[in-house]
Amino acid sequence: MSKALPDILGRHGAPGALGLVHLIAESQLLRMDLAQPDSAKDELRRLLANLKKLEPEEVEITLAAELTALAQERDLPLDTGEAQLAAILITRGLSLLITGDKRAIAALGELHPITQEIGSRVACLEQVIEALCSNIGADEARSAICREPGADRTMRLVFSCGREDWSPENLEEALRSYIGDLRRNAAGLLFEGSLLA
């Protein structure tokens, strides 16, 4: 999966992650209760090798601080990393921001007029999983997710890990449900269509 993700993201420009992610991702990964930590570490290293380091410039740091302050004033859950990604997206005119933080997506949706500057250029984890399933197949994606019980509880539920009566149709319905719910709360920020387009 470490190769499939950059392939999908590469359709929307050179994929990257905050430089800080490159520094701390492995130690965060090793804090998880993983069944195969060495394999997970290797996958992470391969993924990070395909992601350029995004370092915020001064204007982006300033904009991120403004976003964070505005979110705090409105009691919205937006952390510094998500604010920096949003600032980079806006100032560099990037085509897509992907985050697994649904609360941050909803928070960004409340930050008018910033919302209009972001447009429909945010994708959630479930949209990425949907694209991965289309790219590598639902069975392979399910196998990768279900072999690590400590990684992501929501995804384990979506893929019905441990159940024999699983079907790709159930997966599609579950992903669409999560995406639809977030879309209703994200004020037009979520990317429209397939990430494979």
pLDDT tens-digit series, residues 123-172:
999 999 999 998 889 999 998 888 888 778 888 888 988 888 888 888 88
Average pLDDT over residues 105-132: 90
Q: Which residue has the tokens 């993924």?
A: 47
Distance in Å from the first CA to the final CA of the chain = 19
Residue 165 maps to a domain: yes
Residue 106 maps to a domain: no
Q: Which residues pair with 190 in a beta bridge?
A: 122
Inter-residue contact 102 to 182 (CB < 8 Å): yes
Give the three-state DSSP class for 97. Answer: strand
Whole-prediction pTM: 0.88
Residue 13 maps to a domain: no
Residue 197 pLDDT more than 60? no
When mean pLDDT is compared over 69-73, 166-170, 189-193, the highest value belongs to 69-73
Residue 26 pLDDT more than 70? yes
Average pLDDT over residues 172-184: 91
Give the three-state DSSP class for 52. Answer: strand
Q: What is the DSSP letter of 192?
A: P
Nearest to 1 by CA among 49, 47, 53, 48: 47
Count structural domains, the chain.
1
Residue 85 maps to a domain: no
Residue 88 maps to a domain: no
Average pLDDT over residues 23-52: 87
Residue 81 maps to a domain: no
Instruction: Residue 30: count other Cβ atoms within 10 Å of its Cβ.
Output: 12
Residue 93 maps to a domain: no
- Which residues have a Cβ under 8 Å from the Cβ of 166 and sit 6 or more positions away? 142, 159, 160
Give me the domain span that covers residue 153.
Answer: 126-178
Residue 36 maps to a domain: no
